[in-house]
Amino acid sequence: MNAALPGGRGGIFAWCIERPVATLLLTFALVLLGAIAFPRLPVAPLPEADFPTIQVTANLPGASPETMASSVATPLEVQFSAIPGMTQMTSSSALGSTSLILQFTLDKNIDTAAQEVQAAINTATARLPQDMPSPPTWRKVNPADSPVLILTVSSEHMPANELSDYAETLLARQLSQIDGVGLVNITGQQRPAIRVQAQPDRLAALGLTLADLRLAIQQTSLNLAKGALYGESSVSTLATNDQLFHPEQYAQLIVSYRNGAPVQLKDVAKVISGAENAYVKAWSGAQQGLNLVIFRQPGANIVDTVDRVNDALPRLEEMLPATVNVSVLQDRTQTIRASLHEVELTLAIAVLLVIAVMALFLRQWSATLIVSAVLGVSLVASFAFMYVMGFSLNNLTLVAIVIAVGFVVDDAIVVVENIHRHLEAGDSRREAAMKGAREIGFTVVSISFSLVAAFIPLLFMGGVVGRLFKEFALTATSTILISVLVSLTLAPTLCALFMNAPGHDKEKKPGFGERLVAAYERLLDKALAHQRLMLGVFFLSTALAVVGYVLIPKGFFPVQDTGFVLGTSEAAADVSYPDMIAKHQALAEIIGADPAVRAFSHSVGVTGSNQTIANGRFWISLKDRGERDVSASEFIDRLRPKLAKVPGVVLYLRAGQDINLSSGPSRSQYQYVLKSNDGPALNLWTERLTERLKANPAFRDLSNDLQLGASVTRIEIDRKAAARFGLTTADVDQALYDAFGQRQISEFQTETNQYKVILELDARQRGRAESLNYFYLRSPLSGEMVPLAALANVQAPSTGPLSIAHDGLFPAANLSFNLAPGVALGDAVSILERTQRELGMPASISGTFQGAAQAFQSSLSSQPWLILAALVAVYIILGVLYESFVHPLTIISTLPPAGLGALALLWLWGQDFTIMGLIGVVLLIGIVKKNGILLIDFALDAQRNQGMSAEEAIHKACLTRFRPIIMTTLAALLGAVPLMLGAGAGAELRQPLGIAVVGGLLVSQALTLFTTPVIYLALERLFHRRPVEDLASATQSG
């Protein structure tokens, strides 16, 4: 098929050959645009994949998990459930706090969602507890985006509350103003506060209650509007000393009078400068410290943002006391720079290997340089397209360009090789360029358009996976389309100007290419003589490909080694705060002693995403890859038995990933959620499922978040006795809240911040049930002091939940797990589902995967459809181009051996069939059918224009097209080899794709050079086609 392409007489290539100056200038313009765009492209580890997510936080210090779940979480959830476009709503309620995560569809505008969330909060406010210190707050979050920088702020001698104040007022606020910085979170923060620690025995002796202290403080320290004096000549603002700022000032407050003498606050309480939450502690290594977790703004260049932060740090450090140290715990740009450097190196190696292949086969520097010029122009010009589309330089877009090297060279090789063949036949440069381009133009378009068709299904992939691979598919597609244009314009022009005719060289012996063709011809003749055997080989390879797909272990994304490890510690639900600190320090000693660790920090208490004292967090930064002997996963395996020796606590570690699909904090990589409207049944079956799965060696670090063993001291109020004194249960609750709830009773403002005043019992009394015996309430009827013991009985401690989780509006339990080495996620999913069935879990309890496991399930169900869609798209494009229903079948017959090769090499390499392997298979659909197009296009032309029989035409096509087929296949294969063999940063993502492409090309090339001509002849016989008839006509008439 050699019809001229649109563009005037002779096609677009004729116009370019006749106008070389215009062609070269337009080409230069393309290169210039790409060169200008390249340094302006944002840099990121992966494409933008924003999940519209909002986190809502509500606090009521001292409230039990049950109170927070029923009185705070449920009213909010009822209102949130009416918001359109919400896909998931989860909540976790613990002592004094509730956190809700609201996820929306990917097409939901996050600003619109935020407005709807605020409206829902406003509606729910009337149903929330009135004594909440502040309304629920919300913030936009993106679970798929990790922090770009984590700084540790530490000091050996400075009190933790002062250190926190410096971190917030001087560092966090200044950093948040830097261009590109979106959010700065502080974990391990102990915000300064004034703590009033009441002594109940002294209060009782003076006939005072905690309510008296609360009201006295609230009415004495204020910051209200006072007005101004408007005189005839000036205006003077009124100011008073109504606000107190220091513990000494509060200590002198007069609470009441007894026998005419004032009772000051210091007479009945100790007033100290402390922290807003006394049960938070954090360390940077061995020193006390905290973390500044920095996120970027959506679309901001990560590298530029981190560079700007690092540039600002010396100036900010000068503002801090000399005893405060600021250091970098995690810098994502280090792995991003290393990963992108590896991809760029891979790209350079791929280009050099491809050029070497061309030099080997063409044996002419002019032809090699022409193809190299086409390659360079196409790759550089693709950066301009990426800039216009708003794409970034990341692992996937650069891998798309690496893979596209083979595609780009395919077009150029086919054109240049065909022109080179005409030069060998004795044509002049101009005649050879014109004839060669005209003959091969339709073939090049067919190859490229059908290749682009294979990418079309990727553009319609749903979820976050679709978001990630949209940039990949469009970058590869744009590079391919640009290469078509350049190959049909620049390549013929340069050939007409510079390509040397073979006759100009001295006569040479047959080269490597000629000897290879001769060897192939002998094997081809044997294949054509045994056509049934070759058909059997084809059908066998197809069957093996299907069986291989069913049997190969399947996963989601490969686990990356980003050099960062996250940890969640869990102790007994009733663990004390001092005991938890001791356990954490024991864990820290083990972690700090490992030679792979560069730095680490950890915290306990309610801070950041941590809601309970029984849990803590670790952030571990590993040394550069060249300085450690283990990967992140191997580091976790090495630490696991050592950490298990610390009694009373478990530390769950997971490798940090560039893409995080979990909507909330998780102990491990994968999550499974059970939910039911029957809470006790849910707890029972969750524990049964957990114990059964723990016994299965496929799972590591398996746990659930129930934590049902929290100690609960219950107080039974005698309502009748209380009523006799005019007291209510609310009065008792308020008194208990004053004593044990770290109640925020007042606040004061400075020029830089706002601070709380906290009321509580003296430290000696806070943890003892006997303290309740010192409690007195004042009767509103008689004014007499009534001991709490006369109104209530303290029960023996029982147990209850440390936290309560909801999924939607139902109680839920979260199971988290990692996988044992060699276990695929697909196998683990099957084991979990089978175990649940074997246990006979009641239908009232439903289970769903979340995060990466949920995305894996979704992608697994869509994988066959994605492959089928790519095949259908290619078939349609080929059918349209050839005006035939049958020719595309011959071309697509090249695909099953490629699939077999991809799966086989992945299996031999010990790789799961992940999303990256799937993309490799989709790429193969576009790559390997090129062989069929080259053969079929030539054979049809030979039958139609030269009167050859089908046997003669396909035989000649195989021999004539053998060299460009081998060259283009080797170019694509060698372009993928660096991906397959790469071992640097980010190699975990690139390697499966490279393995799939290399394996597919090896097997496909070995088989399709012999099976494709046999299938072509079989279809000819099947449709009884005469040698010179068009197969489409035969199909239509028959």
Per-residue pLDDT band for 647 (boundaries 50, 70, 90) equals very high
Whether 9 is covered by a domain: the verdict is yes
1029 or 465, greater pLDDT: 465
Taking the C-alpha atoms of residue 659 and residue 755, their distance in angstroms, rounded to an integer, is 37
Alpha-carbon distance of 240 to 243, in angstroms, equals 8
Length of the chain: 1038
pLDDT in tens, 880-935: 877 788 888 888 888 889 889 999 999 998 888 888 888 888 888 877 877 788 78
pLDDT of residue 144: 65
Instruction: Give me 107's structure tokens.
Output: 């097409």
The pLDDT value recorded for residue 56 is 93
At residue 465, φ and ψ (nearest 5 deg) are: -65, -45
* Chain segment 699-750, per-residue pLDDT in tens: 988 888 888 888 888 888 999 999 999 999 988 888 888 888 888 888 888 8
Same domain, 933 and 1010: yes
Supply 397's token pair: 């877009």
Residue 177 lies in a domain: no
Q: Which of 815, 850, 885 is the last residue of a domain?
A: 850
| Pairwise CA distance, residues 206 & 443, whole Å | 100
pLDDT tens-digit map of 41-86 = 888 888 877 778 899 999 888 888 899 999 999 999 999 999 998 9
Are both 412 and 451 inside the same structural domain?
yes
**Any domain includes 543:** yes
Are residue 425 and residue 540 in the same domain, yes or no?
no
The pLDDT of 829-854, averaged and rounded, is: 87
Determine the Cα–Cα distance for residues 406 and 419; give it in Å rounded to an integer.
20
- Choose one of 106, 141, 176: the last residue of a domain: 141
Predicted local distance difference test score (pLDDT) of residue 589: 94
| CA–CA gap between residue 679 and residue 873 (Å, rounded) | 50
d(CA 921, CA 904) in angstroms, rounded, equals: 12
Please give the torsion angle defined by the CA atoms of residues 38, 41, 45 and 50, in that order, rounded to the nearest 10 degrees.
-150
CATH number of the domain where residue 58 is located: 3.30.70.1430
The pLDDT value recorded for residue 966 is 83
Q: Is 486 helix (H, G, I), strand (E, B) or coil?
A: helix
C-alpha–C-alpha distance, residues 524 and 138, integer Å = 70
Q: Is residue 568 domain-shared with residue 555, that is, in the same domain?
A: no
The string of DSSP letters for 771-808 reads: GGGG-EEE-TTT--EEEGGGTEEEPPPEEE-SEEEEET
Kindly report the pTM of this predicted structure: 0.80
Q: Which residues constitute the domain of residue 262?
A: 193-224+243-275+714-796
CATH number of the domain encompassing residue 972: 1.20.1640.10
Per-residue pLDDT, averaged over 325-354, amounts to 82
Place of tokens 């062609």: 23
> pLDDT band at 949, cuts 50/70/90?
confident
> In angstroms, rounded to a whole number, what is the distance separating the alpha carbons of residues 505 and 113?
72
Q: Which residue has the tokens 């807003």?
A: 276
Torsion of CA 935, 940, 941, 946, to 10 degrees: 120
Give, for 89, the enclosing helix (H) or strand (E): strand 86-94
pLDDT > 90? residue 660: no
Residue 504's pLDDT band, with cuts at 50, 70 and 90, is very low
Question: What would the two tokens of residue 730 be?
Answer: 């609310």
* Separation of CA 651 from chain center: 23
Do residues 293 and 181 lie in contact, with contact meaning Cβ atoms separated by under 8 Å?
no
451, 582: one domain: no
Q: What ranges in 655-761 are assigned the alpha helix state H? A: 679-694, 719-724, 729-740
Residue 917: inside a domain, yes or no? yes
Note the pLDDT of residue 8.
Answer: 45
Task: Please name every residue paired with 88 in a beta bridge, in sequence order, or none if there are none.
Answer: 103
The top-scoring range by mean pLDDT among 363-372, 637-646, 668-677 is 637-646
Q: What secondary structure does DSSP assign to 661-682, as a single string? A: --SS--SSSEEEEEE-S-HHHH
Q: Which residues contact 817 (CB under 8 A, 6 or more apart)?
A: 668, 669, 670, 672, 693, 699, 700, 701, 702, 703, 828
Lowest mean pLDDT among 141-155, 175-189, 658-672, 916-930: 658-672
* Judgement on whether residues 761 and 775 belong to the same structural domain of the protein: yes
pLDDT of 825 > 60? The answer is yes
Q: Give the per-residue pLDDT at 663.
A: 63
> Residue 295, Cβ neighbours under 10 Å: how many?
20
> Taking the CA of residue 523 as centre, how many other CA atoms within 13 Å lie in the half-sphere pointing to its CB?
16
Alpha-carbon distance of 736 to 792, in angstroms, equals 12
Are the CB atoms for 541 and 612 separated by under 8 Å?
Answer: no
pLDDT of 582 > 90? The answer is yes
Q: Are residues 519 and 535 in the same domain?
A: yes
Mean pLDDT, residues 227-255: 89
d(CA 756, CA 990): 52
Does a structural domain hold residue 355?
no
Q: State mean pLDDT over 150-177.
A: 90
Residue 5 confidence (pLDDT) above 60: no
Domain annotation covers residue 995: yes
Q: Which of 1025, 1012, 1009 is nearest to 884 (CA)?
A: 1025
Who contacts 508 (Cβ-Cβ below 8 Å, separation ≥6)?
Answer: none
Lowest mean pLDDT among 193-197, 503-507, 913-917: 503-507
pLDDT at 585 over 50: yes
Q: How far apart are CA 902 and CA 912, in angstroms?
A: 12
Which tokens is 919 given? Answer: 């993309």
Q: Of 168-182, 519-533, 879-893, 996-1010, where does mean pLDDT reach its minimum?
A: 879-893
What's the CATH code of the domain at 828? 3.30.70.1440
Which residue would you say has higher pLDDT here, 149 or 625?
A: 149
DSSP per-residue codes, 360-385:
HHH--HHHHHHHHHHHHHHHHHHHHH
Percent of the chain with pLDDT strictly greater than 70:
95
Q: Report how far residue 862's alpha carbon sits from residue 864's, in angstroms, rounded to the nearest whole number.
A: 6
Q: Are residues 834 and 840 in contact, defined by beta-carbon separation less than 8 angstroms?
A: no
The answer to whether the CB of 977 falls within 8 A of the CB of 404 is no
Is 71 within 8 Å of 128 (Cβ atoms)? Answer: yes
Q: Give the pLDDT confidence score for residue 313 in this predicted structure.
A: 92
Report the pLDDT value the prediction gives residue 352, as an integer from 0 to 100: 81
b/e map 699-718, b = 16+ CB within 10 Å? bbbbbbbbbeebeeeeeebe
How far is Cα 77 from Cα 70, in angstroms, rounded to an integer?
Answer: 10
Q: Does residue 1026 have a pLDDT over 70? A: no
Non-local (6+) Cβ contacts of 514 within 8 A are none
Give backbone dihedrals phi and psi of 357, rounded to 5 degrees, phi first: -60, -45
- CA 198 – CA 194 distance, rounded (Å): 13
Asked if residue 506 has pLDDT above 50, the reply is: no
pLDDT > 50? residue 1030: no
Q: What are phi and psi of 677, to 5 degrees?
A: -85, 0
Three-class secondary structure assignment of 964-1021:
HHHHHHHHHHHHHHHHHHCCCCCHHHHHHHHHHHHHHHHHHHHHHHHHHHHHHHHHHH
Q: Do 791 and 804 have their domain in common?
A: no
Assign residue 256 the CATH number of its domain.
Answer: 3.30.2090.10
Q: Looking at the domain assignment, is residue 285 inside a domain?
A: no
734 and 840 in one domain? Answer: no
Residue 884 three-state SS: coil
The answer to whether residues 483 and 379 belong to one domain is: yes
Q: For position 102, what pLDDT does the model report?
A: 92
How many Cβ atoms from other residues are within 10 Å of residue 226's Cβ?
A: 10
Which H or E run contains 659?
none
- The whole-number average pLDDT for the span 18-23 is 88
Interval 868-890: pLDDT, tens:
888 888 888 888 877 788 888 88
Q: How far apart are the C-alpha atoms of 191 and 353, rounded to whole Å?
A: 59
Question: What does the pLDDT average to over 401-430?
Answer: 79
Please report the pLDDT score of residue 71 as a whole number.
Answer: 93
pLDDT at 4: 45
- In this prediction, residue 1007 carries a pLDDT of 87
Domain termination residue (choose one: 453, 470, 501): 501
Assess whether pLDDT exceeds 90 at residue 334: no
Q: Are 160 and 281 in contact (CB under 8 A)?
A: yes
Tokens of 969: 């296949």
Cβ atoms of 529 and 1010 closer than 8 Å? no
Q: Return mean pLDDT, the chain.
A: 85
Are residues 556 and 568 located together in one domain of the fold?
no
For residues 968 and 413, the answer to whether their CB atoms sit within 8 Å is: yes
pLDDT at residue 645 greater than cutoff 90: yes
What is the arithmetic mean of pLDDT over 999-1021? 88
Number of domains in the chain: 6
- Rounded distance, CA 275 to CA 744, Å? 12
Handedness of CA 599, 604, 606, 610 (dihedral sign): positive
Place of tokens 């050859």: 948
- Antiparallel, parallel or unpaired: β 810-819 and 803-807: antiparallel
Q: Do 385 and 447 belong together in one domain?
A: yes
Sheet with 192-198, edge to edge strand ranges: 269-275, 192-198, 754-761, 743-749
Tokens describing residue 652: 């769950």
CA distances in angstroms from 1032 to 453, 635, 882, 1017, 1029, listed in the order given: 22, 62, 8, 15, 9
| 238, pLDDT greater than 90 | no
In a domain, residue 179? The reply is: no
